[in-house]
Each structure stands twice: as structure tokens, then as C-alpha cells.
Chain A
Amino acid sequence: MSQVSEMTDEPNIIAFCCHYCAFTAADLAGTMRQQYAPNIRIVRLPCTGKVDVNLILRAFVEGAEGVMVAGCEIGSCHFIDGNVRARKRVAHAKTLIQEAGLDPERLEMFHIAASQGPLFARTANEFTERIKGLNAKEKASAKSQGEVCAV
């Protein structure tokens, strides 16, 4: 957990969004004034197929406490199957972060169509709650093991 989150309980979450669907949905959420958690920092990519395993790992190394990879619905990818490749890479990255000691729930793949502004907002909020829950659980278990937590 980053020092910031230990102090404010506000986790940093990176959302890798594809330009054609998820980013457009995020944009639409904004236009529709659908509020979503400010914890989400969006990185726009041409396609989730651009996401490789190390990009996800670097996000965690650099301080992200949660990573969302949001792409088009299966079958709708602008680049045919970029989102299918991303799914496989996200699944593999989950095993890698688990190997390194992070809860695999901190990483997730979502499929959001361009028109689904409200779904983007809801997904962002639910994922933020998930990460907050994981942080709280880990903090509590660290405390109960008698470790000192910086507050």
C-alpha cells in the first residue's frame, strides 16, 4: 500500500481504457454527469490489446493499488481481437501479481461498450470499493499480527 493511501484511505487506481469503447464510455459518463470515484486515473490506449503484462506490473510497482483494464465487448473490438488478447494477458498477470504477494482481485478486466457511460461509472465505483475493502482487510490483518502501521 502506498504511504498516501495509508494516510487517507484513498487508493490509487489506474484504468487502462481503449479509445474506441471504454474511454468513450468514460467520456460519456462525464457528459452525463455520472459521478465516479476520483481515485480512477485513466490511461487511454488505442486498444486493450496494447496492454502487456509488464505494463500492468509497472503500474503496481509505481504505486497503483488497483488496475482496471477496460475494453470493448467481445466481438466489438475495433482491432478484431485485441480485447481477447488482453483478457488472456490480464488472467496471466493476475497469477504473476499473486506470485509477488498481491491479491489478484486488485487487477480486473472489464468490457464496456462506448454507449455505456453509466456502466463505466458504476464499474469504476465498484472497483474502487473493492480496492478500499482489500486495503482495509490487509491493514486490519497487519495490525492483528502486531505489526506497526504508519498512520
Chain B
Amino acid sequence: MIVAERKPLEELYAHAKKHKKVLFLGCGTCVTVCMAGGEKEVGILASQMEIAARERGDDIAVTEHTITRQCDSEFFDEATARKVEEADAIISLGCGVGVQFCAERFPDKPVYPGLNTKFYGATLEQGVWAERCAGCGECVLDKFGGVCPVARCSKSLLNGPCGGSSEGRCEVDPDNVECAWQLIHDRMEKLGRLDELEENQPMKDWSTSRDGGPRKVTREDVRL
């Protein structure tokens, strides 16, 4: 899922202060799982805003609403539209996708991002989320025993570790980052496929990644 973190209160307060009534809009999918922008987090932010406004003597009314997903227009329903109508501005606690969809759906209202969207990742344990995929557009996980060198190697190397691999850690951030190539080696060894790593991988064609410009996927067979 997409992993994000909530922005500092000061930054959000500066936006809210410009308006009389602000709607905090949460998202019930990825950002709920990574505990950054779900219904609970909207409640927390709204409470912090009310306290901050009271402490500073500012007049900001706060409303809350959470929808299933902000990246599918079907979820911006009547109830949501009514809440948006009543507010002067929206602080969207969806990921970058959600914020933009929200802005497109309600072009007359200022929409501010409540989160910093970070990466595609997974839950390692409750409270810990780590990056696993870089969305490169050409998945090569079959070649590397299910460990992605593009996303998990700091240098996205495709032909083995660099000299900075030590004790299975990456020199870029040994405390937090494992050497992906150590993981690939260990996995392929367990699978009895170490010889496959001898095969030289050519230069990656990055045109399928974000490097090639904004991407779109179309499925004519399912279009109405």
C-alpha cells in the first residue's frame, strides 16, 4: 500500500488559519493501514486544531469526514459533497493521489495536503512500515528471488552488491537499511538458484518508470 506520514501541525495550521471552517477529509484505505490519515487520525488532527485555535485565540471551525478511498471518484458521494459545501477549505489526509482527486472533484474549494506521501510499502509489524516497490513499470522480481533490487538497493544495482555492503547492512544507513543484495543472495541460495545470479543484467530501461513521464494504464475491454 501507499505509506505516508502526517505533516507537522504548524504547516497545517498555517493553511487552516486562512479560513473560517475547515473540513478534514480522511481516507479509509492505505493511509488508514499506515495510521496516518484514517478516521482516527482525522479525529486526532481535528482535536489538535481545536486546541491550537483556542490557545491562539483564532476562530477556526473544524469538521471531520472519512471516505472509503479518495482515489476512486465513486466514494465522493452526496454526504461528502454536502460536508465540502459547508466548509471553506479542505485538508485532505489522503495520499498525493487522494488530495489531487479531491481537488479535481471540488475545484472551487482550496484543498491542502495533510500528509507527506512516502512510498509503496508493507507493514513489517504494527507501527513499522517499509518500502518494497519503486513502481519501475517492469517487474524483475522473478530474477531476484522475490527481493527487489530497484526498490530495496540504495543504488538500484542489478548485478550484485557494491563495496558498501557490510554485515548484511547498507553503508547508506546501516541502522535502518539491509543490503538488498545480501537478501537476494541468501534467498537464491536457499532456492538453489545462485547460478542464475551469474547472468548479467543489461542496463535497465527506465522509460517504463516515472522517468519516462506520467503514466496511464487503459483497458479497452472493460471501458463502458
Contacts and interface: CB of A to CB of B under 8 A. Distances in A.
Contacts of B140: none
B48 interface: yes
Interface in B51-87: 51-52, 55-56
A97 B43 contact: no
A143 B47 CA distance: 27
B184 to A, nearest CB: 35
Contacts of A61: 47, 50-51
B141 interface: no
A101 B49 CA distance: 10
Interface in B8-47: 8-10, 40, 43-44, 47
B47 A101 contact: no
Given A100-B52, A100-B55, A101-B56, A58 B9 contact: no
Interface of A is mostly: helix
In which size bucket is the chain B interface? 10 to 19
A57 B41 CA distance: 12
In which size bucket is the chain A interface? 10 to 19
Given A54-B47, A61-B50, A102 B8 contact: no
Interface of A: 52-54, 57-58, 60-61, 96-97, 99-102
Interface of B: 8-10, 40, 43-44, 47-52, 55-56
23 contacts: A52-B40, A54-B40, A54-B44, A57-B43, A57-B44, A57-B47, A57-B48, A57-B51, A58-B47, A60-B47, A60-B51, A61-B50, A97-B51, A99-B8, A99-B9, A99-B48, A100-B51, A100-B55, A101-B51, A101-B52, A101-B55, A102-B51, A102-B55
